[in-house]
Every structure is written in structure tokens, then in C-alpha cells.
Structure 1
Amino acid sequence: MKRHQHQEMSLSKFMASLPIPRHYRRYLIIQLLCVGFVLYLWVSINGGFIPKFLKHKISYFDVESDVSPLLYFGDINNDASKIRWSGKVNSLNQLNQAMESDAHMLEGDVILRGQGTKHQKLIPVMSSPPNTDSKTTLDDWLDVVKSKQKGIKLVFTSIEAVEISLQKLKIIKEQGFLKFPVWIHADVLKGPEGKTPNIDSTRFLRHLKRVFPKCTISLGWTVSPHTDTSQGGYSWDMVLDMFKLIQTWEINDQQVIFNADLPWLRNSVPQLKWLCDNVFHSSLMVSKSSQSIGIKEDVLYAAYRFPPHSLYFDVKDDHLEAVISKYRHFSRDQVSPLVLQRDLVMFHPKAWVKMGFHMEKNSVLGSTEAIILSSPIVYIVSKSSYKPSPELSLQGRVLFLNHNNKEMESGKTGLNIYLRSTSYTHFEEITGIRCFLGVDGTIEVSGSHLNKKDSFKSESQRITPSSSHCFRFAIIDSLSEIIFRVNVVHSCNTLESVKADAEIHAELKVPVPAHLGNGQHPYILKVADNKRYAVIDELSVKHS
């Protein structure tokens, strides 16, 4: 108390010496004392000026098995690429060596004893196909790791082994162990050149939800080694299947890791980035088996697109690990020129607003990589409005997906793009000029809900689509004429597909009334029916 009074007297003397009116001095003294008290409380509560929630290393007693490695390990500065992995740790000898290593996370494979044979028993052991047995049981393995400070990732290739293994984890957790990150992994969907998964996604996620929800869910696609991966990758259909799986099981409050195989990464970054952008609490793990080939450019392409906290690497390659360590935060100068070319046509989701019937959930899924329209009752409208001008063009690329296996209608299934719209609050009555691009290659410019004095003669033509149903388009509204240009693109998925077209494949020039909505109006994009999804990227308004 005396010390506090002394400080207040010293402060009062100091304030009295200042050339300010007396009635302000007392006010300033009170303010300074309040600030000092608040700072004292802040430092006392947080143990310093840095708030507790920003400190990566957390107390052992506060940790659950679903903790993120980024929080648990205090030496990585929120950079997932710094997490070190020890894979295929399936014997006790390998496990003991890994425990003494600098690895943060230990990966083990789980099957049943005698997996797939007539001697199969309900005893989880540490091995993976084509092996059917192992001397090391899961119980032995967990006894070594359960009270340590390494994280673990259990990889399941047998659905029969999942439930009993999760029960064992649950018991150990209830005993007060597993105070570290626990990842549970399975390949649940078919990926590039992959086989039908051994793990049924429904059973796998049901077991996780019911038995051991306090974990990080790690999901992947089956893949096969391939000599030429230049044209393949994780397709839009593949990532949509994974997205729907997450939505079906309502995985909203758990960490989710999507696993991608490095050799297939080159043509897959946009799709995988879109997936992570649309799944809450998700990250990407890029892995490489010892037999597969990894390319420096592909590793750094992913590093360039994904923020440090959402991209893990387990590449098992000294050269690539050195590349990641050196260039993870300086990858722009190391990527393919085609990646930088794509930067010039990146989609900007914040430039568009979603509208339509009750804003139907998941009908518009956006990312900096692309936006997916799946329902005709919901559409996107540009936030900015534009006056007709020969110097402006709306440009973009669309890939049509038959994700629900429906028959298209010729000349009716496709993408509608509206110009000079004066009324667009209802999805069935958008007024303006409609530019239609069909799945079957139909191109049409027509009026949409116009009155008689504004009507004009519609025109159309048709071009032969590619097997990929991918098109690039540009629309110029010069006030008296609409110019609609469409090019057939043989692939929307390869990195090379970003290259500019050498020629125009189809062009419509349609005269329109100059007085028709010649003020400022937004652009509107909407799928014509629900028989195709439209994946739209490279969408922007260009000035010539």
C-alpha cells in the first residue's frame, strides 16, 4: 500500500511539473494508473506480453489427442513443412530407433493378424499388404509410444482392423495417456489410376465418430505408380467426392488432412487447394513413397499456393527435403512459368456475390482457384457494375462435370451468362441479354424476359466439344453489338491448359438495341439446369 502511494506521489510530482492546466493533471494521472493496472493484469494472466493463445507449445495436461502438431510442437513456428516424419515404423526395433530420432510424427501401418487368410484373427498388428502378419502387435506398439511426446499416425489398409484398434486407443486415452497428436488415416476413395479402396468410407467414418472422435482424420485416394503422370492428377470429380463425404458426415469441428501423392501433384494443385478452402479445419499432406519420383517444381508449386500452416510434406527424399527447407517461403522464383501465368487469370471470389433461392447450401463453392455452380436456383453476380464498352470483356473458362450421371438436354444444358440485367433478384426471371454456352457446343445470344420494344433476333451456332467438355469464353458488349467468342479446350486440368489460345474457334456477332439497359449493370453467371456442374476459373473483366 505504501509503495503504491509512493508511486502515485511521484507521478503527481511529475505531472505537477508539466505546463498543463491543473484540472487535466488529475485526469491524466488516473488514466496512466488504469493503463498500468491493465498491463499488470495482462502480463500476470499471459505470463508475458504475448497472449497465451499465440504460444505454440502448450501444457502436457491441456493436450487432447486431436491437438494439431502446429500447436503441440513448439519449434516449428506454425510451419507444417517443418514437421518431420518417420514412416513405416512397424517393428519394435524401428520404433525404438524412431523414438530416439528428431522426428515429430511416427507412422505405423495396422492390419489384422493373418489378414485375408484363413488364419485371420481379431488381433491388430503392425504391417501392411502384401504382408499378412507381424511380430509386433498394436498393443506392443502403443505401449512404447503412449506416454511419450511424439505424435502418431496409424494407417489402416483393412476395414476389419479399424474398430478394434480404435477401441484400444480409446481405453488408453481414458487411462490418461495419448497426450499428443493422433492421426487416423485411410485411403477411402479411388484416385488417379487407383484401385477400389479396401476401406469402406462409411464404416471407417462411422467407427471414428462413435469410438474415437478425439483425433485428426486423415483421408486419401488410392493411386497406382505410373510411368507418365504428365496428363493425370486428382480430378474435380475426385475432390468433389471427398468434399461430399465430409459434408455427409458433418465433419466440422475436427482437423482433417487430405493426402496427395507427389507424382500426381503437378495437375492437381487447383483442385486440392479448392478442397482445402471449402473444408473447415483442413490441410494437405504431400507424400512420396521411396519408389516414386518427385519433381522440385511440383513440390514448390504446392508451397507457392498453400499457406505454411496448411501444407505438410513427407517426401522421403533428402534432395526434396533440402529444397523445401530452402525455398518453402521463397518458392515464387522456383515454380514453372505456367504457374505464374495462371496468377494473371486467378479467380477472385470476393468480386462476386451469391444470390438465389434461400442461398442453397453448397450450391456455390468458391476459392481463388475456381468456383463451382451446381444448381440453377443459385447464381453469382459481380459486385461491380459495368457500362457497355468495346474496351471491356468478360473472360473465363468453364469445365462441365456430369457429377450426378444425368442425361443432358441438347441446347439447354450449359452455362448462362447475363449482360445488362435490370432485374435479377429471382432466379427464374433474370432480365437482360443472355449468352448461353452449352455442354454440346451450342452458342447462343438471346434476350431474357425482355419487353417487346427491347427484343432482338437471337442467333446461335454450334461447335464440336472436346471429350473433356472444357471451353474458354470471352464476351464483349460494345453497346450496339454483342461479340461472343468460344474456344474448345482439350483439357481444363493440366497445368499447360492455362496457355492462351492461338485462334478463335467460334464467334457470334449479334446486333442489339443500343438503348437496352445502356447504364451500368453487373455480370451474372448461372447454370441452365441441374444436369451438369460448372467449374469456372480464369474469370475476370479485362480492359483492352
Structure 2
Amino acid sequence: MWVVNTTLFLLFSAHLTNGLRLNGRENRATRMSVVDFWRNETEGDGLNVKVAHAINSWPDLVDQLHEPFLNKSLMIEGDVFLQAHRRPRHRTIPVMQSRNSRMADRITFRDWLREVANLKKAIKINFRTTEVVRPVLQYLYASQADPDSPILDRPVILHANVFRAPRSVEPEVDPGVFVERTQSLFPDATISLGWTRQQNLSQLNEKYKKLTWHTLFMILEHIAKLDQPVMLSVRLSVAQYSTEQLLWLLGMDKSVSLLIWSDDEDNITNWEGLVELRKEATRNRILYDLLPQHRDKFKNLSPQPIESHAAFDLSAWRSVEFPSTSSSLSAVVRSEKGPAFIGQPVSLLISQKAPPTFPDEQFVEGKVHFLPKSYSRRLEVEENSGVSIHLLDRIKEIDSPKINKGIEVFIGYGGTVFVENKQKNRENQKYYESKSLGQLPASDCYGFKVTDRGWRVTADVWTEPCLGHKRRKREVVRIELDTPFQKGGSLRNVIVSKSGDDSIDFLLESLRHSSTTRISIVFSILFIFLYQLFH
């Protein structure tokens, strides 16, 4: 009887194991952050990660098996491409790229993955051509339902150089093909995006070693809608000039990490930006694949990480997106460093803060950074292109990104500023002006503070230097508009949106909604009594 029960138990266990192998993605660790996965080995610091590069042949794999324990790598990296055949009847198959090894040492991707999976390390697969993306991902997809295929229970990073760096001769992988096929065929992996290698890096001007805000928005086109983890592979020389942009990406409300790498051409003379990046970013969001001299410099210079200041409270604002007819990204992308409005004006940011009651007043303050598309500089930009701050009695009735009610404060790309009362159906509207207008010099960045007192809305707007730009003469404009007092003494709800078309995007480098008490209770009661008496 005991033997029968034991046999039944073993059969059930085998069936359960096969079931987990066939359908058990929940037991795979591929979606986990690689540094979180290595927390014990790295002490939660991506600087302690060791990467085995170009493990592309049988001898390379054997070396990994016999590596001393203390020197063991935590991630194995391989490069895959399609092997070309002279005879057309031979089907092209994915193989590992090995420049210096003999043909006899060449290994197919299928065999390579089986051997690497048994090493129980994180795996990074570098796609060197667009043509190899489909067959490799099809194999990964099929292997998840194949009981004879290796179980990938460690993080898998799928990497491709999809962006062309200035003065680079390396062909890039098509980003649309890579991201779309990875998302559909192997969504458990981390998608890693990088730049093609630059030639003669030391001779390049500093501006070619920086990720601009326009570049960041280009990156968002590919990653903003992804559900799976995303990694950006950035060169050390580029990271030193791109602190603000990289911190913005790390502050997104999604799983985004960085891999910062270096080679002999990275000659860093100013470590200030890199130290700031390491100081402000959470350590398990950045991996460092560096040469020994760069790694040692980091260890000597880097202080303990500190909590960075959030320019935008993710929990204080709710985003609402409406359908868009555009094939490109049209959305509001949120980060702790500020939200970005991209593409068609189909998205709203709604403040979660309940409007205060008179005599309290509320204000919305921040800084807008306009980023025109490259083609928009050759066209006439629409006059209504800018950022709008709406003050509404009720927000439950909103069913469209076009808001035609309440009070609108507008800051335009060309410097136009106005406050407009869009309420048309009240009897007392005839006692109030409908619009107040002002003009500032054209600037890419403006600071603003909108104050709502219930009976008056004031907008203070001024020219402001953008991040990383030189300071300029500050020009200020203040416009005011008296508005009808709300029933019950409550102030208005706050919504931020984009106006115009998709030619002008913008980043809110900071955004805050708060309230304060300014007027005494006695005066407020007297004001309400007089208001009701004369209206």
C-alpha cells in the first residue's frame, strides 16, 4: 500500500512539474529586476555586478564552467546573428557571433541557450541584426511550452542597439521590429535598448555625447506603453552629460533601469554628473559594466545614496488618456522628475487634491519646458500650442480631452498668456470680463504660479532658463480675472492638459498643487454676505 501511494505521489509530482514547465510563467524569474535578483551577491549595488562578455563559442562556455568561485560572473552575455549560407537550400539559423574562434567552435543559439540556462545566471542576448530578431524570439516563445527546453528561471535581458549614435558606422537594429516582437513573443524578458558604437569618441564635441530632451522623448516613443521591464544601455561618456535626462527616466512610474558601460575610449575628466547620478538614483536601478579603472574611480568617489527630491508627486495626480488617431505615441508620461505631454492633446492630468473652501486659496505652480518637433520649426506653429491649467466646478462630467467650461489659464509656446472664463450659462456673467491677456518674449521654458481665490484668478508667468542652459534676463507678466464665486464657497478642481497639435511637446520640470489660508474668518463671512447681497 505504501509503495502504491508513493508511486501515485511521484506520478502526481511529475505531472505537476511538467504542468509548471508548460504553463508556469509565474514561477519564472525573468520579469524580476536583475539587481533585485542578485541582492545578496551584490549587496543591492549594481556596481558589484560582473558581466562575462562575448561568451559566443564552446571554449568560452567551458571557461565559464571552470571559473574560480570568487571570480564567477553574475551575467552571461552573448551576441547572436543569422549565419549566411552559400547554398540557398540551407536554412539560415541563429548562431553566436565569434570573430576569433574556429568554425568548429561555433555554436548555435539553441545549443548556447541550453548550456547557459544550466549555469543559473542572468542572461543577456545581444541582437546584432534586425533579421535575427524574429527567429530567435520565435524559438524563445516555443521553448516556453516545450518540456525538453531549458527552464529560464533567471532574468533574461534582450538587447539591441536601436538608436544611431553620431558618427557611428555600425548598423542599428530596427526599433519597431525589436520592441514589437519582443513584447508579443517574449513579454517576460527585460527589453534593453542601446546606441550604436561611436568612432573616435575623444574627437567628438560634447554636444554629441549627450542625451537631449528630444532624445529622451524619442526613447519614450518606444517604451512608454510597455508593461515589461525596460533597460537603457548608456555609455559612461554619455551618462556624465545626461544626468537630468537619466534621472527622469529612472523616476518613471514603471520598471526602468540603466546599464552604464565603458571601454578604453571613455576618458572621463569630470565625474560630478556621474557621482550625482549614483548619489540620487536608487542603487538597484543602475548596473555598471565598467573597466577596472572606471569601477575603482566610482568606488573612491561615490557617496552613499540619498533620497532625491521629487519635483512631481505621482500619488497627487491622476492621468486620464482618451483614444488617439495618431500612430505615434500620444500620452502623458509620468516621472517623479515631472510629467511629459507627448503627441496629440488627448491626455489630462487631474489633481487628486480636493479643492479647499473659501477663505483658503489654492495655487498651482511649476515650470514648463517646450520641445518642438524637428519638423515644426519649418512650419507655422498653431497659436493655441501650449499648456492649459483648467479650474472646474466638477470633473465627473469630463468625457473628452477638449474642456470647454470653467476657467482656463493658458501659457503658449510663443509667450502668449491668458486667463479665460468659459462659463456661458450663468446670469451674472455679464458683470465679469471673459478674458485677460498678456504677452512674454518667446522662450522654451516658463515658470508659472496660478492662484485661485474663488472670486479672482491670478496668473504669474515668467521666462525661465531650461535645465542645463545659461540664465537669461527674467521677464514677468501678471494677469488677473475676476470670476463668479462658487456656490457653497468651494474652490475649483485642477486639471492640466495640452493644447494645440502634436508639433509641440512639453515637459513639466515641476508641478505642484497646494492651498493656504490667507483671509480671516470674519472677513470671509462679510465677503460672502456682500457678494450674495449684490448678485
TM-score (ref. length: structure 1) = 0.67
Identify the residue that residue 461 of structure 2 maps to in structure 1: 485
The separation in 2 between residues aligned to 1:82 and 1:109, in whole angstroms, is: 23
CA contact 1:146–1:177 (8 Å) conserved in 2: yes
**Is the CA contact 1:417–1:524 (under 8 Å) kept in the aligned structure 2?**
yes
Shift, 1:114, TM fit = 7.4
1:520 corresponds to which residue? 491
Residue 258 (structure 2) aligns with: 284
State the match for 1:49 in structure 2: none
The alignment partner of 1:75 has SS state of: helix
Match of 2:53 among 65, 81, 87: 87
2:368 corresponds to which residue?
Answer: 398
Tell me what 1:158 maps to. Answer: 129
Post-superposition CA distance 1:363-394 (Å, at most 9, x none):
33322111123454542233143578999753
Counterpart pick for 2:480 among 510, 523, 533: 510
- For 1:126-275, what aligned pairs fall within 5 Å after superposition? 126-127=96-97, 135=103, 136-139=105-108, 145-165=116-136, 174=146, 175-177=148-150, 179=152, 180-190=154-164, 198-205=172-179, 208=182, 215-222=189-196, 224=198, 225=201, 227-229=204-206, 233-246=210-223, 251-252=226-227, 254-266=228-240, 268-275=242-249
Moved more, 347-356 or 159-168: 159-168
- The 2-side partners of 1:124 and 1:134 are apart by 17
The correspondence for 2:37, drawn from 71, 74, 87, is 71
- Give the counterpart letter for 2:48 in structure 1: K
Aligned partner (choices 72, 77, 88) of residue 102 of structure 1: 72
Q: 1:443 aligns with which of 389, 413, 417?
A: 417
Question: Secondary structure of the residue that 1:258 maps to in structure 2?
Answer: strand
Compute the displacement of 1:186 (Å).
0.4
Q: Any idea what SS the aligned residue of 1:385 has? A: coil
Letter in 2 for 1:260: V
Looking at structure 2, the residues matched to 289 and 121 of structure 1 have their Cα atoms a distance apart, in angstroms, of 36
Aligned length: 457
Distance 1:352 1:66 in 2: 27
| CA positional deviation for 1:485 | 1.9
SS in structure 2 at match of 1:346 = coil
1:328-477 matches, within 5 Å, as: 330-332=304-306, 343=309, 346-354=311-319, 363-374=331-342, 376-382=345-351, 383-386=353-356, 394-402=364-372, 409-419=381-391, 421-424=392-395, 425-426=397-398, 428-429=402-403, 431-450=405-424, 451=426, 452-456=429-433, 458-466=435-443, 469-476=444-451
Q: Secondary structure at the match of 1:187?
A: strand
| TM-score, length of structure 2 as denominator length | 0.68
> Residue 184 of structure 1 contacts residue 217 of structure 1 at CA under 8 Å; is this kept in 2?
yes
CA contact (8 A) 1:66 1:214 kept: yes
**Does the 8 Å contact 1:274/1:368 carry over to 2?**
yes
**Conservation of the 8 A alpha-carbon contact between 2:58 and 2:107:** no
Aligned-pair CA distance for 1:507:
0.8
How far 1:437 moved relative to its partner?
A: 1.1
Residue type at the aligned position of 1:292: D
Residue 307 of structure 1, CA deviation: 2.7
SS class of match (1:473): strand
Query: Residues 398 and 537 of structure 1 are in contact (CA less than 8 Å); yes or no, is this contact kept in structure 2?
Result: yes
In the superposition, relative to structure 1, how do residues 481 and 362 fare at CA in structure 2: closer, same or farther (>3 Å)? closer
Corresponding residue for residue 506 of structure 2: 534
Post-superposition CA distance 1:471-504 (Å, at most 9, x none): 3223345766724222153x44x3x67xxx6753
Separation of aligned partners in 1, 2:180 and 2:456: 60
The Cα of 1:525 is off from its aligned counterpart by: 1.7
Structure 1 CA distance for aligned equivalents of residues 373 and 457 of structure 2: 36
**Is 2:123–2:157's contact at 8 Å kept on the other side of the alignment?**
yes
Q: C-alpha separation between the residues in 1 aligned to 2:406 and 2:431? A: 9
Assess if the C-alpha contact under 8 Å between 2:251 and 2:337 holds in 1. Answer: no
Shift in alpha-carbon separation, 1:436–1:203, aligned structure 2, 3 A = closer
Distance 1:525 1:161 in 2: 44
Shift of 1:168: 7.0
Cα distance in 1 for residues equivalent to 2:380 and 2:100: 47
Contact between 1:192 and 1:233, CA under 8 Å: does it hold in 2?
A: no
Q: CA deviation at 1:416?
A: 1.4
> Identity over aligned residues, as a percent?
21
Question: Cα deviation per residue 1:257-284 (whole Å; 9 max; x = unaligned)?
Answer: 2222232224545544554555744422
Does structure 2 retain, via aligned residues, the 8 Å contact 1:259–1:284? yes
SS of the counterpart of 2:260?
strand
Q: Give the counterpart letter for 1:348 in structure 2.
A: D
